[in-house]
């Protein structure tokens, strides 16, 4: 490994990369426990793959925005370090696969030269902040949410309050009440609102909290009908502080925000959120509305007249993949990307083909496509011809024919059955047998390789997730069929119902039966979910029941889509979030490390950060002491309470007449001032010395 000190201008980023390099070396030398190292690399965008010895690297692109130069750099990186492919995700990131762990610091350093980061793309952190791809050009929007999404991304990146939470935390901004960023399935979701007071226009947001998909989907609670824009970040900070302190940490299946709300109740959670306001770094945070300027329209104009290479296909493409922007005379152009994969050679040719005709900004869409901006009427045929040559002019963007999928068993540890090939097969069924449905945007088909819903099957009108069945003494690939999910609007959504489970090779028959029944029996202009509600889940269960019959299996049904060998389940350890670290020595080492961060922040006059690092030091040291007694509480709040019960009340630890709870929870009773930061830091240093003295015979800190 090499150092990158001379290559980067940002000292914070440089420190991050050098730190990752040191941690990899320490891990190789056996100085860092495997579970601890996993959490460290995940927070730096490095994720274990299904294939041993290689990593998936997730590149964090706030609200899916990427310039031509950045896309070309990512393609170069994939050529040099990965598998010459770019995978677009439902969270508007780009993933590259088959990367050597030892080369990730070098890879990261090269990406940062073009302002692209890996930081907190994975792990128990605030994940990529997503937004409607049409933000800024949507004819129906009240204002552009892009600067607000950017502000939230920047505020929580490297923020001490969200570096080691119990699980991941997801935030989304929808451009309009159409809610195309799915606010209702996020930990925090925002929809822009405007109200007028004393003749003055005030911006704000409707706020949804506690949504999520996965094995137990939950729809978000509306917690604010109108939150003023200057309270966007303070409110979000308070929510994350509460999640960090009270969220589950041992059982990762119960560690999302939705479960904390189920446990405590929404009113109690909001009460705790309000209590945290005092400790916030900012009581009001003014968003710079100019941080994400609109890209410039192409300099050229008056393109020479040209004819589309395929007039019929052009008409379909123009009708389904092109819309007029709110900027009159300009058009947004969607690109449908099959399974979200773009080979690097194709990515370079794409940039060359589109750059004369659109602005220098691409948005990755939540259904794994691309959105181009500021095309002109006379440039559209040129654009279509260029995309056609690359195989990227398929019509039906975001229609029934545009299937969303996760990588499934291709690369993911948690994948049970294949989703990528199934997605292609289902799209072929639509294009070949239901061509008219490329105009239907009412029905969305989504696939995940497992129940965790990375492919968003839980909000699909017709959804599938990977599973398995047993028959004839063997295991066969299967899919769980879900129906009836989707967007209602303005923060309200529907979670799909589980209807039945069938062999995976029968998924195409499921699709045909459901679509045929809908087309034959729906009333005029009846939307799919209205039809589903009228006919009921039980009706569709009986409709599909013959496909679940395992007495009629054929040999090929024991082989998954895209495979030649007989199916076998091979689920690895998932890394959607870091695991709990319960080694005493590791925790004490962490406490010392966090104390060092607290001192650095204090010296840099970042008092709020110093205070939170100090708080984390208290908790880490207390957890280590409790583990010495075999007590492993699953929340920070529980650790604080248990330390009082097992050490302070018993007299084993003397805190000068104070309880540990009163000492530690000063954090949300005081403003983040220099005076309090200094006092709090002195108190934790004293506490750490107490811990050292008590455990010195066993652990050398």
pLDDT tens-place string over residues 449-462: 888 888 899 999 99
pLDDT at 580 over 70: no
Q: What is the pLDDT of residue 452?
A: 82
Q: Convert the pLDDT of each residue in 593-611 to its tens digit.
A: 899 999 999 999 999 999 9
Beta-bridged to residue 56, according to DSSP, are 47
Q: Identify whether residues 431 and 541 lie together within a single domain.
A: yes
**Nearest by Cα to 242 from 224, 205, 219, 267:** 267
In a domain, 122, yes or no: no
**398 is a domain residue:** no
Whether 493 is in a domain gets the answer yes
Q: Do residues 337 and 443 share a domain? A: no
Residues 465 and 601 in one domain: no
Measured CA distances, 316 to 330, 395, 438, 439, 552 (Å): 19, 6, 8, 8, 40
* CATH number, domain with residue 324: 3.30.70
- Give me the number of domains the chain comprises: 5
Give dist(CA 168, CA 171) in Å, integer. 10
Based on the domain organization, do 202 and 326 belong to the same domain?
no
- The confidence band for 8, taking pLDDT boundaries of 50, 70 and 90, is low
- How much is the mean pLDDT over the chain? 91
Mind listing the pLDDT tens digit for each residue in 488-541?
A: 999 999 999 999 999 999 999 999 999 999 999 999 999 999 999 999 999 999
Closest CA to 460 of 417, 503, 406, 416: 406
Axis crossing angle, helix 232-246 with helix 636-643, rounded to the nearest 10: 50
Cβ neighbourhood burial of 171 (10 Å; 0-12, 13-18, 19+): buried
Domain's final residue, options 279, 301, 334: 279
Inside any domain, residue 5: no
On whether both 449 and 547 belong to a single domain, the answer is: yes
Last residue of a domain, one of 53, 79, 112: 112
Q: Give the three-class secondary structure for 288.
A: coil
pLDDT value, residue 38: 73
Is 287 domain-assigned? no
Shared domain for 265 and 316, answered yes or no, is: no
- pLDDT tier for residue 573 given thresholds of 50, 70 and 90: very low
Cβ contacts of 653 within 8 Å, gap of 6 or more: 625, 643, 647, 660, 690, 694
Residues 186 and 273 occupy one common structural domain: yes
Picking from 256, 279, 302, the residue at the C-terminal end of a domain is 279
Q: How far apart are the first and last CA of the chain?
A: 28
Q: Which helix (H) or strand (E) holds 341?
A: strand 341-343
Average pLDDT over residues 254-275: 96
Sign of the CA dihedral running 184, 187, 192, 196: positive
Provide the pLDDT for residue 627: 87
Residues 207 and 275 in one domain: yes
Q: Is the pLDDT of residue 574 over 60?
A: no
Tell how many helices (H) and how many strands (E) occur in the chain. Answer: 20, 22
- 136 and 94 assigned to the same domain: no
Average pLDDT of span 226-235: 98
Share of the chain above pLDDT 70, in %: 94
Residue 394 in domain: no
The string of DSSP letters for 19-45 reads: HHHHHHHHHHTT-S-HHHHHHHHHTTT
In CATH, what number is assigned to the domain containing residue 61? 3.90.480.20
Structure-token pair, residue 274: 């309000």
Q: Based on the domain organization, do 244 and 370 belong to the same domain?
A: no
> Looking at residue 285, what is its pLDDT?
97
3-state DSSP call for residue 215? coil
Q: 384 and 410: one domain?
A: no
CATH number at 674 reads 1.20.120.330
In a domain? residue 292: no
Residues 227, 205 contacting (CB under 8 angstroms): yes
pLDDT digit string (tens) for 90-108? 999 999 999 998 888 889 8
Kindly report the CATH number assigned to the domain that includes residue 215: 3.30.413.10
Closest residue by Cα to residue 236 from 208, 268, 259: 208
Q: Clarify whether residues 210 and 267 are in a common domain.
A: yes
Dihedral angle of Cα 161, 165, 167, 169, to the nearest 10 degrees:
0
Domain that residue 19 falls in: 11-112
Residue 662's pLDDT band (cuts 50, 70, 90): very high
289 lies in a domain? no
Confidence of residue 413 (pLDDT cuts 50, 70, 90): low
């Amino acid at each position: 490994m090499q150092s990158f000190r001379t290559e980067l201008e940002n000292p914070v980023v440089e420190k991050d990369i050098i730190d990752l390099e040191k941690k990899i070396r320490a891990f190789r030398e056996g100085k860092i426990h495997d579970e601890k190292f996993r959490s460290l690399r995940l927070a730096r965008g490095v994720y274990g793959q299904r294939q041993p010895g290689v990593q998936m690297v997730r590149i964090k692109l706030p609200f899916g925005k990427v310039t031509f130069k950045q896309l070309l750099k990512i393609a170069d990186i994939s050529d040099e370090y990965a598998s010459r492919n770019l995978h677009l995700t439902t969270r508007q990131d780009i993933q590259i696969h088959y990367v050597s762990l030892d080369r990730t610091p070098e890879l990261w350093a090269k990406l940062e030269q073009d302002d692209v980061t890996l930081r907190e793309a994975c792990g128990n952190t605030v994940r990529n902040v997503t937004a409607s791809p049409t933000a800024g050009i949507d004819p129906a929007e009240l204002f552009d949410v892009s600067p607000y999404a950017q502000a939230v991304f920047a505020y929580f990146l490297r923020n001490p309050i969200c570096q080691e939470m119990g699980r991941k935390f997801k935030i989304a901004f929808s451009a309009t009440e159409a809610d195309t960023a799915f606010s209702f399935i996020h930990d925090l979701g925002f929809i822009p609102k405007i109200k007028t007071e004393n003749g003055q226009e005030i911006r704000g947001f409707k706020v949804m909290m506690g949504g999520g998909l996965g094995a137990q989907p939950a729809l978000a609670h509306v917690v604010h009908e109108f939150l003023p824009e200057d309270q966007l970040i303070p409110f979000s900070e308070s929510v994350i502080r509460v999640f960090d302190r009270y969220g589950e940490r041992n059982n990762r299946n119960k560690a999302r925000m939705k479960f904390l709300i189920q446990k405590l109740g929404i009113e109690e959670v909001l009460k705790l959120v309000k209590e945290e306001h005092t400790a916030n770094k900012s009581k009001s945070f003014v968003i710079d509305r100019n941080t994400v300027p609109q890209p410039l329209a192409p300099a050229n104009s008056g393109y020479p007249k040209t004819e589309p290479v395929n007039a019929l296909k052009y008409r379909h493409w123009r009708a389904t993949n092109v819309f007029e922007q709110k900027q009159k005379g300009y058009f947004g152009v969607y690109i449908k990307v099959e399974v979200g994969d773009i080979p690097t050679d194709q990515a370079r040719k794409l940039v060359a083909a589109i750059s004369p005709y659109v602005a220098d900004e691409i948005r990755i869409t939540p259904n794994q496509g691309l959105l181009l901006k500021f095309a002109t009427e006379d440039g559209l045929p040129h654009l279509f011809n260029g995309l056609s040559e690359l195989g990227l002019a398929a019509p039906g963007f975001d229609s029934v024919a545009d299937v969303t999928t996760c990588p499934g068993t291709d690369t993911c540890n948690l994948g049970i059955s294949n989703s990528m090939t199934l997605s292609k097969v289902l799209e072929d069924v639509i294009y070949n047998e239901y061509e008219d449905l490329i105009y239907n945007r009412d029905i969305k088909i989504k696939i995940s390789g497992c129940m965790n819903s990375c492919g968003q099957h839980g909000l699909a009108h017709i959804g599938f997730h990977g599973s398995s069945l047993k028959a004839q003494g063997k295991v066969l690939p299967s899919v769980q069929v879900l129906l009836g999910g989707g967007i209602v609007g303005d923060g309200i959504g529907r979670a799909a119902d589980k209807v039945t489970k069938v062999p995976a090779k029968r998924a195409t028959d499921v699709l045909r039966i459901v679509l045929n029944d809908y087309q034959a029996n729906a009333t005029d202009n009846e939307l799919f979910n209205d039809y589903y509600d009228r006919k009921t889940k039980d009706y569709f269960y009986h409709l599909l029941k013959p496909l679940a019959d395992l007495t009629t299996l054929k040999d090929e049904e024991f082989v998954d889509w895209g495979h030649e060998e007989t199916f076998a389940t091979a689920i690895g350890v998932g890394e959607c979030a870091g695991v709990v670290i319960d080694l005493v020595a590791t925790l004490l080492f962490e406490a010392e490390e966090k104390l060092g961060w607290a001192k650095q922040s204090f010296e840099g006059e970042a008092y709020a950060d110093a205070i939170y690092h100090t708080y984390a030091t208290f908790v880490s040291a207390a957890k280590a002491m409790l583990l010495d007694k075999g007590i492993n509480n699953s929340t920070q709040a529980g650790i604080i309470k248990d330390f009082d019960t097992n050490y302070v009340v018993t007299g084993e630890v003397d805190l000068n007449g104070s309880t540990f709870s009163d000492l530690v929870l000063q954090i949300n009773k005081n403003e983040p001032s220099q005076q309090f930061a200094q006092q709090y830091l002195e108190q934790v240093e004293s506490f750490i010395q107490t811990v050292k003295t008590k455990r010195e015979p066993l652990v050398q800190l």
